[in-house]
Structure 1
Amino acid sequence: MIRTKNRACTGKRRHDTQEKAEEHRDRLIANGAVRVAAYQCRNRSCGGWHVGHTPKPRTTR
């Protein structure tokens, strides 16, 4: 699951279904986006799906 850093989903494109969110993700990837994923919104009042960037891989020191 992708974390939203406790931000509301204001300003994010809401998709009604997982399929629509994944179609949007696929279009973004086709246009050169990297590390993006569809996820279900944790905000109860939204109840939709969003597309966002996945976290960068952690590096060990």
Structure 2
Amino acid sequence: MIRTNGRACTGKRRHDTEEQAEEHRERLIAKGAVRLAAYRCRNRRCGGWHVGHTPKPRTTR
């Protein structure tokens, strides 16, 4: 796990490839997690892939 000054990577598992991140996402979904996505980290020091929650759908009033 990489820690950075910002919150980008703190507490997140780093994957070297998109495929590794997708495999991890699939395992989490099999355990009951919902709305997960694999994404490339914006932190250039990390350069890896993470799995995180997607935003909840917005409701209109």
TM-score (norm 1): 0.87
Q: 1:44: how far off?
A: 0.4
Unaligned runs of 5+ in 2: 1-5
In the other structure, the counterpart of 2:7 is 7
Corresponding residue for residue 38 of structure 1: 38
Give 1:12 deviation, angstroms. 0.5
**How far apart are the structure 2 equivalents of 1:46 and 1:29?**
24
What amino acid is the match of 1:48? G
Indicate yes or no: 2:58 matched with 1:58.
yes
Looking at both structures, which has the greater relative contact order when contacts are Cα pairs under 8 Å and sequence separation is at least 6?
1
Alignment root-mean-square deviation, CA: 1.1
Deviation at 1:10, TM superposition (A): 1.6
Unaligned 5+ residue runs, structure 1? 1-5
What is the aligned residue count?
56
**Percent of aligned pairs sharing the same letter:** 86
